[in-house]
Amino acid sequence: MNFLEIGATAFGLLQGYLVMINKRSNWIAYIIQMMLMFAFSLSVHLYGDSINNLCYIFVGIIGFIVWNKKDEKDIKVCSLKERIIYITTMLFATFIFYLILKETDDPLPLIDSFTTVSSFIATYYMIIKKIDTWVIWFVNDIFYCITYLLLPNQALYLFALNLIWTFMAIGSFINWRKIMINNGGKKA
């Protein structure tokens, strides 16, 4: 058992619950989790994840600042144009990042590339409170489950965390949609 993996799992569960109920404090748990995930990812040679998690420490600080009290319930839906842009960006950036990671000892360069890119995109939409973030996170969490099972030394705690997050993404979508509708937003 890796204490980094267990700690990241515990803080990830806390963060997942707090973001699902739309609480700003989720970003504190997020920052701690990303510190632990950075160290874990380095230890298993997932370089895309390492870069991802290092950046997320700073993204967590930004998220905490952006999620202020006055707009706590201001959730919106991405436009069709935004969806086309994020899907195209996700595909193109995954391919480019894969070309880089396949030249390293990363054991899963394609999946690592996809989860890295889709995580950044999902986090951006989480920061600006677009409900589409939960669709992206749902797909991303499925691929993270695959990643942690395929690692030479399976990361079963992180697999379990991402399996739980897959279901929490559904719950978060439902809860955010309810908040959005209750505050006069359009249905997703």
79 or 184, greater pLDDT? 79
19 or 83, greater pLDDT? 83
Q: What is the pLDDT of residue 184?
A: 74
Mean predicted confidence (pLDDT) in 24-48: 91
154 or 13, greater pLDDT? 13
Domain edges within the chain: 3-182
> Does 140 score more than 70 pLDDT?
yes
CA distance 167 to 52: 22
Give the global pTM. Answer: 0.83
Q: What is the pLDDT of residue 66?
A: 87
CA distance 160 to 174: 22
Q: What is the pLDDT of residue 144?
A: 92
* 97-124 pLDDT, tens digit each: 999 999 998 899 999 999 989 999 999 9
Mean predicted confidence (pLDDT) in 13-32: 92
Cα 59 vs. chain centroid, distance in angstroms? 11
Mean predicted confidence (pLDDT) in 9-13: 91
* 65-102 pLDDT, tens digit each: 988 755 556 889 999 999 999 999 999 999 999 999 99
- 183 pLDDT tier (thresholds 50, 70, 90): confident
